Amino acid sequence: MPELPEVETVRRGLARVVGLTLTRLEQRRPDLRIPLPSDFAKQLEGRRLEGVDRRGKYMLWRFSGGPVLIVHLGMSGTLILRDGPRAPELHEHVVFTFSDGTTLAYQDPRRFGLMTLTTADNASQHRLLADMGPEPLGNEFNGPVLAAALKGRKSPLKAALLDQRLVAGLGNIYVCEALYRAGLSPERLAGTLRGPAVERLAQAIKAVLTDAIAAGGSSLRNYVQASGELGYFQHRWAVYGKEGERCPGCSPTARCRVQRVVQSARSTFYCPRTQT
Catalytic residues, which ones?
Answer: 2-3, 57, 266
Q: C-alpha distances in angstroms, 54 versus 6, 75, 142, 178, 237?
A: 11, 17, 19, 21, 24
Quote the least distance from Cβ 1 to DNA, whole Å.
Answer: 4
d(CA 276, CA 271): 9
Name the minimum Å distance from CB 130 to DNA.
Answer: 10
Q: How far is CA 213 from CA 13, 60, 131, 220, in A?
A: 12, 19, 25, 11
Smaller CB separation from DNA, 42 or 110? 110
Cβ atoms 181, 238 nearer than 8 A: yes
Least gap, CB of 128 to DNA (angstroms) = 5
Minimum separation from the CB atom of position 158 to DNA (A): 9
Contact 213, 173 (CB under 8 A): no
Q: Which is nearer to DNA, 226 or 255 (CB)?
A: 226
Of 116, 250, 236, 118, nearest to 177 (Cα)? Answer: 236
Other C-beta atoms within 10 Å of 29: how many? 13
- Length of the chain as a residue count: 276
Closer Cβ to DNA, 136 or 156, answer by number: 156
3 vs 25 by CB, closer to DNA: 3
Q: Summarize as ranges the residues that interact with DNA (CB under 7 A).
A: 1, 3, 33, 56-58, 72, 74-76, 90-91, 109-112, 128, 152-156, 159-160, 162, 164, 171-173, 190-191, 262, 264-267
